[in-house]
Structure 1
């Protein structure tokens, strides 16, 4: 299937089949794909946690507002977090960033406020989200990106240090009764000429 067709058929899954699990082979592929995600200057200010343990999923479901049932029924939930410790990030840069990248960071990013630097970190994590959702579609895995979670409670449940939760993604396989799938509820998008210009 080509990528345009994947874009037409991929959708945000609302109901999962709890009896179907993503294979360990595909989980390993998704982990490697996340590792290879793009980020500005190869900064990689992120952390990803794959969770399949039912007890832990139930705890996270309790801090997930309207997304609770998706988390209980999905195969895995992946928590995407951004670096929340600027000093630690800067101390680690020499271990993997070339001189030119560190120069860019020190001249362009570092002079900004703490809020702006952490916002820059978070933007990189959102780049990985697009990469990840596309990978799931290519592997025939259904997914649901979720900002509707209580990030602080996620941090506590997962005992996160130096990172903070931004959002989560559930993955698995759709319940045939899911009314959000495009064959039942066609995608609604703005026309190309409304959002794209050629000059």
Structure 2
């Protein structure tokens, strides 16, 4: 299937088949794909946690607002977090990035107020989200990205010291009765010419 067809067929799953689990081989592929995600200056200010343990998944589901059922039904939950300690991030890039990348950070980002630096770090994690959702579609895995989570509770449950949860993605295989799938509910988008312009 080409990428355009994948874009047309992927959707945000609302119901999962709770008896069908994702094979370990596919989970390993998704882990490697996230590891290879793009980020500005190759900053990689993130941590991704794959949760398959049912007890932990239930704990996280319980602090996920209206997303509890989806998480409990899904095969796995993947939690996306950003580094929340600027000094720790600077240590990381000084140890791992080339001089040019460190120079860019020091010149354009380091002088900014700390909240703006942290916002930039978090934006990198959203780049990984787009990469991940596309990867799931390519592997015929359904997904549900969710910002409706209690982030501080997630941080405690997962012991994310130095990192801050931003959002989570439930992954698994759709319930055939999921009314949100494109075969039953066509995708709704603004007209292409309203959002895409050429100059």
Which stretches of structure 1, 4 residues or longer, exceed 2 Å deviation after superposition? none
Superposition TM-score, scaled by structure 1 size:
0.99
Residue ranges of structure 1 left out of the alignment (5+ in a row)? none
The aligned residue for residue 113 of structure 1 is: 113
The aligned residue for residue 194 of structure 2 is: 194
Superposition TM-score, scaled by structure 2 size:
0.99
Deviation (angstroms), 1:92: 1.6
The alignment status of 1:75 with 2:90, answered yes or no, reads no
Q: Distance in 2 between matches of 1:91 and 1:11?
A: 39
Q: What is the root-mean-square deviation of aligned Cα atoms in Å?
A: 0.5
Aligned length: 199
Q: Distance in 1 between matches of 2:95 and 2:137?
A: 33
What's the CA shift string for 1:104-144, capped at 9, x where partnerless? Answer: 00000000001000000000000000000000000000000
- SS at structure 2 position matched to 1:37: coil
What's the CA shift string for 1:4-62, capped at 9, x where partnerless? Answer: 00000000000000000111000000000000000000000000000000000110011
Deviation (angstroms), 1:91: 1.1
Q: Distance in 2 between matches of 1:127 and 1:92?
A: 19
- SS at structure 2 position matched to 1:7: helix
What's the CA shift string for 1:161-181, capped at 9, x where partnerless? Answer: 010000000000000010000
Residue ranges of structure 2 left out of the alignment (5+ in a row)? none
